[in-house]
Structure 1
């Protein structure tokens, strides 16, 4: 009789670890255990914070095009147009503005009309008439206080085209830490007001969740069940803004200075004549945090 009893004890000892690893309930079950921090009366409070900060980054690009019968001459002339500009912009330092220059060339073929009168390129190596070289200067302005002067310098260099000015906000670690602290303080303020209105007082802190997910737990829907499941990190809304200049009377406007010679940086007068009002916009920075308190 002892052998079956010993076997039963052995089977129960083997099955115990497996049973201990079984989840307390299935998600979606009608009645499920609450989280450990909800065994006593608690209040879960989400703190929200929203601030507006000025964009601290800007970027745009400019292109210079040259057409010549020789690919070498076209590339050289295009490079000459951006060399002085690149050197002028690089003098600000990489911590204030970053400059990237690229050069590309493409052939321009002899054209003819087909039997339907449509103009087509004769894309044969022996039918190349000229070469077009394009030099592109891409700028990332990290000190927006210099944006107007940098933009005017590029405009005064007479490029063939200039892109829109893009603004964005890159918050530093100090700003992120201050934002997270403000969200925590807002969570306590909300919790104190709710407890007071309900005739209770706050107890000790049970849970601190900087992502805010713990406060989204829906016990009635099944534990653990979270709203979106996505981490609520600090977010920044991007904006695209173009520069504009106030329109003045044509009779009162002085004549613009002549453009710079090819291969030369624009003069101070040419830069001032090309200045535009480029004010970095305000962008929204948001964060949230969850704090669970006990109730007395």
Structure 2
């Protein structure tokens, strides 16, 4: 009968200790604070910080087609007619390659007059509407930059009233993110080995691997758990995936760009000659990617 009682007593004693261990050991600014558990023996905390540049893989722009008529409905119809076949031609790429959004806005154009100072003003009265202006806008998001030049040329060959500039963005996939995180851990290991060697010692086993890097920001001397931002010098990663050949070399096959879709039957889309005449070089710019990781080693 005593053994179960003794076990219960031990569990009751151990339970508060576990609860206390989960509470913060000190407040920020305390003079004396305990070190984290992984600092009970000599350790080295190393931050791996890497950067690379990858071409942007998303592009977006828009074009507007304008129509003016005495009737608002007729102005909207004419504007819609200008973009209908263009929208079909662009939609043939598929939503995974080119996303197309269209909208039509209409506003009244009033009779104008000059005031006593000679300034031309609109006579903004319902009975003084002279015309209606309809603007049909095609907004495009190109998710495969391999077809960007042809898509842009197709739009400009359709003779829009205005075309915006092209905006580029980078949306790295999970393969690139995982690769960059692995490079950050490798960089942390390299820095730790060099630091230990320069100090005349060697690395032991790994104590902590923190992909967020926050474990290495624990400042024991300043009063743990205070954190300071580290301005680490990033290591440039040279073998990052930036071209199709490097993608293939790293085992990440680059899909072939989709073929240009034929114009829909009976469509008044731009001809092939018009598209080629409007074609311009649109090279995606490079965008920077960074990542970091914290690895804590024991010291031999």
TM-score, with structure 2 as normaliser: 0.79
Q: Which residue of 2 aligns with 1:76?
A: 77
1:280-295 correspondence runs (5 A): 280-295=284-299
1:34-49 correspondence runs (5 A): 34-49=35-50
CA contact (8 A) 2:26 2:225 kept: no
1:124 CA drift (Å): 1.1
Q: Which residue of 2 aligns with 1:222?
A: 223
Deviates more, 1:282-291 or 1:23-32: 23-32
Superposed CA offset, 1:92-130 (max 9, x none): 111110000000100001111222222221111111000
Unaligned runs of 5+ in 1: 1-12, 230-262
Pair 1:265 & 2:269 matched: yes
Q: Which residue of 2 aligns with 1:103?
A: 104
Superposed CA offset, 1:253-293 (max 9, x none): xxxxxxxxxx9211111111100010111211110100011
Superposed CA offset, 1:165-185 (max 9, x none): 011111100110011111111
CA contact (8 A) 1:30 1:220 kept: no
**Structure 2 SS opposite 1:137:** strand
Superposed CA offset, 1:174-205 (max 9, x none): 11001111111111111111111111111111
Q: Which residue of 1 aligns with 2:115?
A: 114
1:26 CA drift (Å): 2.1
Superposed CA offset, 1:132-162 (max 9, x none): 0000000000111111110000010001111
Q: Distance in 2 between matches of 1:166 and 1:36?
A: 49
CA contact (8 A) 1:64 1:134 kept: yes
Residues 47, 23 of structure 1: alpha-carbon distance in 2 compared, 3 angstrom cutoff: closer
1:36 CA drift (Å): 1.3
Q: Which residue of 2 aligns with 1:170?
A: 171
Unaligned runs of 5+ in 2: 1-11, 231-265
1:23 CA drift (Å): 4.1
Residues 22, 43 of structure 1: alpha-carbon distance in 2 compared, 3 angstrom cutoff: closer
Q: Distance in 2 between matches of 1:62 and 1:199?
A: 65
1:20 CA drift (Å): 7.3
Q: Distance in 2 between matches of 1:273 and 1:25?
A: 70
CA contact (8 A) 1:99 1:137 kept: yes
Equivalences, count: 249
Residues 29, 165 of structure 1: alpha-carbon distance in 2 compared, 3 angstrom cutoff: same
